[in-house]
Amino acid sequence: MSERRLLLIAKPQPEVLSAMVQEVTKHQLHTRLGAALFAPENWHQSLSRPYRYEAGLCERLLLAGSRIAADCCVVTLNRISSQHAAAPGIHWAFRARGQPKGFLALLSAVRSALIAQGVDERQGHSPHVTISYRAPTPLSSRVIAPIDWTIDEIQLVLAGDSEPYRYRTLGRWALTTPRYPYAQLRLL
């Protein structure tokens, strides 16, 4: 079993996850990855770095999560590509078009809530969803049918305490519906 870690994430809703799985299947990426495919039920957008599990830290993260004041935002996933990552392998992920303003505001709100609880958060995040952390080969960028994902909830999860590897939700918080029209949620 791997080391237990805590992190704040957003998970795609079932219909968004289904569209993502369809794109992976359409491009036959699941067959290229085999066992290196990260289980779709674990696909997520990281909103914090992973923290080593400690009871006191878990309480501070729960409090920070409850105090995040942010609007929902839309991320449009429009391609799948690879990047070399630190060991052990190559990182394949859904990538988004640009840096949506709402996404940057969400990251800022998460960072502020963490810092207010004395939790160090310096890592930057780009809009993406990993499908493999240890792909066997690089992947040329694949354009996919755009998938609009409204991030409407944040979760605090515990990772690494189960086989098979799964995220266990410890807390979840709804984001607020913005006061401006839906079209403005997107990258302008």
Least Cα distance to 81 among 143, 156, 155 occurs for: 143
Q: What is the mean pLDDT of residues 154-167?
A: 85
- Residue 186 clears pLDDT 70, i.e. is over it: no
Picking from 34-43, 117-126, 179-188, which range would have the lowest pLDDT averaged per residue? 179-188
Give the pLDDT score at 177: 84
Residue type, position 159, single letter: A
Give the pLDDT score at 188: 42
DSSP state of 28: T
Region label for 160, one of left (φ > 0), alpha (ψ between -120 and 50) or beta (otherwise): left
Give the pLDDT score at 187: 47
- Residue 182 clears pLDDT 60, i.e. is over it: no
Q: What is the mean pLDDT of residues 62-66?
A: 97
Tokens found for residue 3: 């080391």
Q: Cis before residue 14, ω within 30 degrees of 0?
A: no
